[in-house]
């Protein structure tokens, strides 16, 4: 198990050099074991994840879904996590998560796994994500109705 953790951390460090943003996604909801695996990987990098296991705070902007992080932590539905590898300016969250009525169906990730564009990842493959520079398009698509979003899942997006 220790060897696996070392390998994952090494890959995460390589990813940090390439991209300031990493988007992780699991579409079918996480089991308790998967959730724990993901938290253990991400929480090794203190202060850099949208989700923190004991975080009781709220997002910087006020809206009807102020407890969004807490809802995400206990949600059994689709999960999306944004991981910032560099220190973010104060307004980053408001840019990435615009004021809107949040739906728990955060169901889209575009990234690159080797030469393949992906829109669904499982926890074991997450450490292989090379780079994502399409986070703005991702967050625009999050707010599409679920049925419209399903038709978008197989559409390729060019990484800039």
- Over the stretch 38-92, which tens digit does the pLDDT of each residue have? 556 545 444 344 443 333 444 344 444 334 444 544 544 445 555 444 554 554 4
Domain count, the chain: 1
- Residue 84 lies inside a defined structural domain of this protein: yes
Is 96 within the bounds of a domain? yes
Average pLDDT rounded to a whole number, residues 11-20: 61
For CA atoms 101, 97, 155, 116, the dihedral sign is negative
- In the structure encoding, which two tokens stand for residue 89, read together? 């300016």
SS3 49: strand
8 Å CB contact between 49 and 35: no
Give dist(CA 152, CA 94) in Å, integer: 24
In-domain check, residue 91: yes
Structure tokens at 39: 């938290």
The answer to whether residue 33 is domain-embedded is: yes
Q: Under 8 Å CB-to-CB from 79, ≥6 apart: which residues?
A: 25, 26, 29, 30, 72, 106
Say which DSSP state 101 is in: -
**159 assigned to some structural domain:** no
Share of the chain above pLDDT 90, in %: 0
C-alpha span between 159 and 103 (Å, rounded)? 25
Tokens of 87: 């220190």
Residues 73 and 66: beta-carbon distance below 8 Å: no
Is the pLDDT higher at 92 or at 18? 18
- pLDDT tier at 153 (50, 70, 90 boundaries)? very low
Q: Is residue 32 part of a domain?
A: yes
pLDDT of residue 34: 61
Secondary element (H or E) of residue 73: helix 68-74
- Which residue range forms the structural domain that includes residue 17? 2-152
Which is higher by pLDDT, 113 or 82?
82
Q: Is residue 47 part of a domain?
A: yes
* Confidence band for 3, pLDDT divided at 50, 70 and 90: confident
Tell me whether residue 67 is in a domain.
Answer: yes
The answer to whether the CB of 78 falls within 8 A of the CB of 120 is no
pTM over 0.85: no
Other CB atoms within a 10 A radius of the CB of residue 154 amount to 7
């Amino acid at each position: 198990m220790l060897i696996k953790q070392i390998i994952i951390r090494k890959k995460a460090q390589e990813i940090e050099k390439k991209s300031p943003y990493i988007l992780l996604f699991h579409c079918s909801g996480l089991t308790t074991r998967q959730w724990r695996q993901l938290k253990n990987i991400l929480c090794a990098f203190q202060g850099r994840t949208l989700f923190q296991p004991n975080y009781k705070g709220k997002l910087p902007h006020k809206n009807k879904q102020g407890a969004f992080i807490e809802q995400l932590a206990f949600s059994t539905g689709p999960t999306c996590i944004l991981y910032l590898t560099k220190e973010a300016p104060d307004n980053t969250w408001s840019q990435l998560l615009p004021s809107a009525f949040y739906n728990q169906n955060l169901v889209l990730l575009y990234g690159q796994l080797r030469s393949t564009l992906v829109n669904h990842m499982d926890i074991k493959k997450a450490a292989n994500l090379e780079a994502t520079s399409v986070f703005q398009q991702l967050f625009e698509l999050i707010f599409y109705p679920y049925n419209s979003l399903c038709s978008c899942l197989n559409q390729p997006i060019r990484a800039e």
